[in-house]
Structure 1
């Protein structure tokens, strides 16, 4: 009888170790995904900055795609808000110009969205 109990204990211990290993792998995968997303977001911001998007809110310095009619100004604004908000959530510092852009262009709906996603992330 003692032997049977010992075997069950070993099985439970092995199952717990396997579950712990699985959870640790999931955690490492999520951390890698987070870093990859952060890297991609920073690359996107660099692309925007290369196109003078940091100054797009100033008259006469609009993105070339917007000026040529390839990108609607509203779409441009939404994309820039999305990227700047994501960078802020990743803890990146924004330029004063980017902060001003967000302040001037962030809608109440987006503010609500940020609050909801912040609650889900914690």
Structure 2
């Protein structure tokens, strides 16, 4: 499994610490050997070092604000979607159709599961779980659901739907952040 930028971010933090140590040591060395330089040369080297420290401070400020990260926005969205799917959906077929954004095929699957339940091929618990997942996915994809389906969702939805809603909000927050920083 990939680190999704976590390892790289740790390496970046260590490199920044090393760079800070180097720049501070450079200032110390400049002060100690001030007499070995012409006044203009000393001032120029000192100003360059201070400028590098200012640039580093600006970069660190951006990182603290979240404007710079190695966990890019696409990976952040992938993680949010993965969490939503794993919490809200247990049926692989529903996960696949949701990921492909196929509300029509989800509706077809719903008809099949209704039929299978009526003929006794699917238990009530399995039927309820799958129907709940399909209706949740259809609704989240922006398709209309009937008042009866809405009632079914409100009666049967529990932690899976609320987990999905939480992660759906996280995805929207990530998308807003991407648009803001993009």
Length-normalised TM-score, structure 1: 0.53
In the superposition, relative to structure 1, how do residues 112 and 50 fare at CA in structure 2: closer, same or farther (>3 Å)?
closer
Q: In the alignment, is residue 2 of structure 1 matched against residue 47 of structure 2?
A: yes
Q: 1:39 aligns with which of 100, 106, 113?
A: 100
Length-normalised TM-score, structure 2: 0.39
Q: 2:143 aligns with which of 87, 92, 98?
A: 92
Query: Of the two, which has the highest radius of gyration?
Result: 2
State the Cα deviation string for residues 8-36 of structure 1 (Å, max 9, x = none).
1233445548x52636x2257517x75x8
Counterpart secondary structure, 2:130 = helix
Counterpart secondary structure, 2:157 = helix
Gapped regions of structure 2 (runs ≥ 5): 1-45, 82-95, 171-182
Deviation, structure 1 residue 70 = 3.5
Gapped regions of structure 1 (runs ≥ 5): 57-62
Q: 2:164 & 2:116 partners in 1: Cα distance?
A: 32
Deviation, structure 1 residue 80 = 0.7
Counterpart secondary structure, 1:83 = helix
Backbone CA RMSD of aligned residues? 4.1
Q: How many residues align?
A: 106
